[in-house]
Every structure is written in structure tokens, then in C-alpha cells.
């Protein structure tokens, strides 16, 4: 498997190089030179396979030249060891629950797979691997648990001070060992910019072996395709034949993985990108002008991204053809007030408790159905985080019904450990150089 940069298609690197040097020096993103097709017979019979079996087939289709089959199978079985169930709400509405992993967020799939891939490639006598990651909420917790205790690695997590939920912050800051947390006086976009500047800095790259655990890393994107194929398998068992996915979207890695799955042969009619008021992509699809803007805080904080990195990958998947993208991706935006209304609506109608991100995907599903007047078609919206992470957003009577997992209860007994820095690259560089 060779990869090129979205900024330079003549560049070629191996999968291993792309994993450990997550961002090309030209600041593009790595993409497979060829997107292989999943065996059509496998797709036709996909409902007969388990989730780990499906994940292995997809991973092997992409990586068979990179990791031996037996090692890849072990890696998958270790990384994908929890469920991603499709829950039926009515005959045409389903929710894909992606929060059953250790950090209670969909990013567990990418973080666990990536950490194990890196562990496979790392040799004991190699230099320490420094993993830098910016988070708007859930990425940091998933990466922390994915890499906690992994030998020869050190993880530095940047997060915007005061802009993640209390539980998310505890997941970031209470790990110790090889995990460090840095509070940045700014937004997620500031955190992401600092990480990108670090990768482009010659002095830091000379001293440290730097890589990223954000969705800019191709090893984060690949495993997120697994649950799209698995959702299709579950729906086939229910007799569903035509599917539209609605995806809560911030940095656009999640929906990017879905579109990669589609390009690999997954039968999907339509994708819906559901955003909050950080609406760079909806504005682009409406106007044809791609213009980033500073992010603003919302209840759906993991989607508070004004400059979504992975949109470049999505455009590349469609050869930068805006019309082709618009034909496959419909986008909607929602305010905080609408988000709260959506949370109430889904609870009142289905007795289902949805986090703010999930509620936005539900609202997008409903709007799409109303506008397109579809009938007899399944729409699946993705639930990306456990509602227990956002207790302050729910009415008291609804919050009381949320089942809080044991790992969250245990967090409250742990001590927060973090460094506070200004959104200034020199300050961040000095912090890194001190250790």
C-alpha cells in the first residue's frame, strides 16, 4: 500500500511511513494511491460475518502488503473487542451506537487500532515515539486510553481550556504514566494549529520522533470504515436494502471514513453531514466558496471546528469535483437551541437519550426525510458519544435516567494533572523542548 500527499500526488510513501510521519511536510494529508475494492462476494454475504471478521476483511483489503495476515488478525481482535450495535427506533430510522468502547466515544475504534499498529511497527531499540494530539473533546480520551502504558511512546494531548465537558477533561488529565495533558488558552483550532506547526518545525523534528493521533493520521481513518460495513451487515439481517448515513461532523474524519468505505464498495445511497454552527462545510456546499472561520463553543463541543482538516481528503476522494461531492453529501447545520429541541424530541418520541452530537445527526435525519420525501429507505444516524459525558445539558429528569458506566464513576477519584499554556507556538515549543 503506497500513499501520496493530497498536495503532491507524485509523492509516494509506505503505510508505515505515513503512520509515523502522519502529515507530509507539504501540509497535505496522506491518501492511498489506489483504493482497493472489497470482494463483491463478501459484500453480498456480509450479514453472515461477525464484527471482528468484517473489520479484518476490510483491513486486509487495504493492508495485506503491510502486515502479515496472522498478525493483522490478532491486532484486529485486540482493537475491535466491543460492539457497535444498530438500534431500531422505527421502521425507517436507526441509530448506530459507537460509544461502547473504553472512552465511551466513537474515536476508540481509531485510537485502539492506531496504537496497536504503531506497537506492531515499533522496535525496542528505536527512539521514543512522541504522539501529539489536539482534541475538542473525545479524541483525547480515546487516544489516552488507547496508548496508556504502550512502551516506547509518549502522548501529549492539547485541549482548549474550559471548552470540554468535565468528564472529558478527567479522561484527558488523570492518566499519568506516558500521557500528558496541556490546557491551551484558546479554541480547538488553536490546538490543532499548534500541533501542525510542531510537525513543520525543523528543530522539533530533529530532536523528537513526532507523529499525530488526530484523524489526519491515516491509521485513524482506516478503522472507522469498519463500523460502516458492520452497520450495513446488521441492517441486511433486518431486511434493509438501501441506506443513508447521517454523521455528526466536526473535523470530518468520521464521514470521511464513511466515504472511503463507499469508494471501497459499500452500498450507500447518501451521506448527510450534520454540523453545529461551526458550518464551514455546509457554507461551502451552498456557495462553492471554502472559507474557514474561528470556531465558536457549542453544546456539541467535539464538533467545534472552524477549519476541518479532513475535508481535504474528502475532496480528494472525488477528484476535487464539487458537483460530485454535492451529489453524495448533503449538509445541514443546527444551533444550540435546535440541538436541545432535538434531544427532547428524540426522548419524547422514542424514549432514547442522545448526546448533543447525536441529536444533531438525528435532526439532520429528520430534515433530510422531510425535504426528500423518501419512503421505504433506512436512515442511520451515528451516535458518537455516551450521554453521560454531558449531564449538564439534560433536564434533571432525563439526566437521572442516564446509566453512568463504572469507568466514569472511577474518574472522579483521580487527580487532574495538566500544564496550562497560551495559544502561542513558542510557548508550546519551549514546553516540548524541556522534556
| C-alpha cell belonging to residue 391 | 449531564
Spatial distance between the Cα atoms of 139 and 109, rounded to a whole number of angstroms: 11
- Residue ranges and CATH numbers for the domains of the chain are 83-105+219-399 (3.40.50.1100)
Q: Return the number of other C-beta atoms located less than 10 Å from residue 91's C-beta.
A: 10
Classified as helix, coil or strand, 377 is: coil
Per-residue buried b or exposed e for 282-319, using 16+ beta carbons within 10 Å of the residue's own CB: bbbbeeeebeeeebebbbbbbbbbbbbbbbbbbbbbbe
Q: Return the number of other C-beta atoms located less than 10 Å from residue 172's C-beta.
A: 30
152: left (phi over 0), alpha (psi -120 to 50) or beta: left
Residues 6+ apart with CB under 8 A from 195: 132, 133, 134, 158, 212, 214
pLDDT at 176: 87
Spatial distance between the Cα atoms of 263 and 303, rounded to a whole number of angstroms: 25
Burial class (CB in 10 A: 0-12, 13-18, 19+), 151: exposed
Burial class (CB in 10 A: 0-12, 13-18, 19+), 68: exposed
In which element (H, E) is residue 96 found? strand 93-97
| C-alpha cell belonging to residue 342 | 432535538
Q: How far is CA 141 from the centre of its chain?
A: 12
pLDDT at 211: 87
pLDDT at 212: 84
pLDDT at 411: 83
Identified catalytic residue from 16, 41, 88, 107: 107
Give the sign of the dihedral formed by CA 406, CA 393, CA 194, CA 28. positive
Q: Is the pTM of this model over 0.95?
A: no
Residues 6+ apart with CB under 8 A from 431: 182, 419, 421
Q: How far is CA 47 from the centre of its chain?
A: 25
pLDDT at 23: 83
| Residue ranges in the chain whose pLDDT is less than 50 | none
Distances in whole angstroms, Cα of residue 319 to Cα of each of 99, 266, 270, 324: 33, 19, 18, 9
Has 207 been annotated as catalytic? no
Spatial distance between the Cα atoms of 67 and 76, rounded to a whole number of angstroms: 11
Amino acid at each position: 500500500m503506497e500513499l501520496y500527499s493530497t498536495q503532491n500526488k507524485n509523492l509516494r510513501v509506505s503505510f508505515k511511513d505515513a503512520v509515523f510521519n502522519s502529515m507530509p511536510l507539504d501540509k497535505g494529508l496522506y491518501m492511498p494511491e489506489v483504493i482497493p475494492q472489497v470482494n463483491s462476494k463478501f459484500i453480498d454475504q456480509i450479514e453472515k460475518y461477525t464484527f471482528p471478521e468484517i473489520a479484518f476483511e476490510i483491513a486486509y483489503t487495504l493492508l495485506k502488503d503491510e502486515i502479515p495476515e496472522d498478525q493483522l488478525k490478532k491486532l484486529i481482535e485486540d482493537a475491535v473487542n466491543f460492539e457497535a450495535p444498530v438500534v431500531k427506533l422505527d421502521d425507517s430510522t436507526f441509530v448506530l451506537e459507537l460509544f461502547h468502547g473504553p472512552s465511551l466515544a466513537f474515536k476508540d475504534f481509531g485510537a485502539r487500532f492506531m496504537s496497536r499498529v504503531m506497537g506492531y511497527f515499533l522496535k525496542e531499540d528505536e527512539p521514543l515515539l512522541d504522539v501529539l494530539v489536539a482534541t475538542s473533546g473525545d479524541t483525547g480520551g480515546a487516544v489516552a486510553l488507547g496508548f496508556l502504558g504502550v512502551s516506547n511512546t509518549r502522548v501529549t494531548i492539547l485541549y482548549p481550556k474550559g471548552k470540554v465537558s468535565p468528564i472529558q477533561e478527567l479522561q484527558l488529565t488523570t492518566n499519568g504514566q506516558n500521557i500528558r495533558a496541556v490546557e491551551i488558552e484558546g479554541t480547538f483550532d488553536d490546538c490543532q494549529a499548534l500541533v501542525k506547526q510542531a510537525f513543520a518545525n525543523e528543530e522539533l523534528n530533529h530532536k523528537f520522533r513526532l507523529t499525530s493521533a488526530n484523524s489526519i493520521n491515516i491509521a485513524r481513518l482506516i478503522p472507522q470504515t469498519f463500523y460502516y460495513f458492520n452497520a450495513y451487515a446488521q441492517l441486511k439481517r433486518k431486511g434493509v436494502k438501501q441506506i443513508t448515513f447521517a454523521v455528526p461532523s466536526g473535523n470530518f474524519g468520521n464521514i470521511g471514513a464513511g466515504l472511503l468505505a463507499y469508494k471501497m464498495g459499500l452500498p450507500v445511497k447518501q451521506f448527510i453531514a450534520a454540523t453545529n454552527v461551526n458550518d464551514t462545510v455546509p457554507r461551502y456546499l451552498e456557495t462553492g466558496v471554502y472559507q474557514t472561520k474561528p470556531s465558536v463553543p457549542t453544546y456539541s463541543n467535539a464538533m467545534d471546528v472552524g477549519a476541518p482538516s479532513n475535508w481535504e481528503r474528502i475532496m480528494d476522494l472525488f477528484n476535487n469535483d464539487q458537483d460530485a461531492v454535492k451529489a453524495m453529501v448533503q449538509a445541514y447545520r443546527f444551533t444550540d437551541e435546535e440541538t436541545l429541541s432535538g434531544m427532547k424530541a428524540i426522548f419524547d418520541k422514542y424514549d432514547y437519550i442522545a448526546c448533543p452530537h447525536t441529536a444533531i445527526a438525528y435532526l439532520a435525519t429528520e430534515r433530510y426525510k422531510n425535504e426528500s420525501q423518501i419512503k421505504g429507505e433506512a436512515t442511520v444516524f451515528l451516535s458518537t458519544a455516551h450521554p453521560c459525558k454531558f449531564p449538564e445539558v439534560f433536564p434533571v429528569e432525563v439526566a437521572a435516567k442516564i446509566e453512568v458506566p463504572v469507568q466514569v464513576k472511577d474518574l472522579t477519584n483521580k487527580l487532574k494533572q495538566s500544564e496550562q499554556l497560551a495559544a502561542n507556538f513558542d510557548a508550546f515549543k519551549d514546553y516540548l523542548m524541556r522534556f
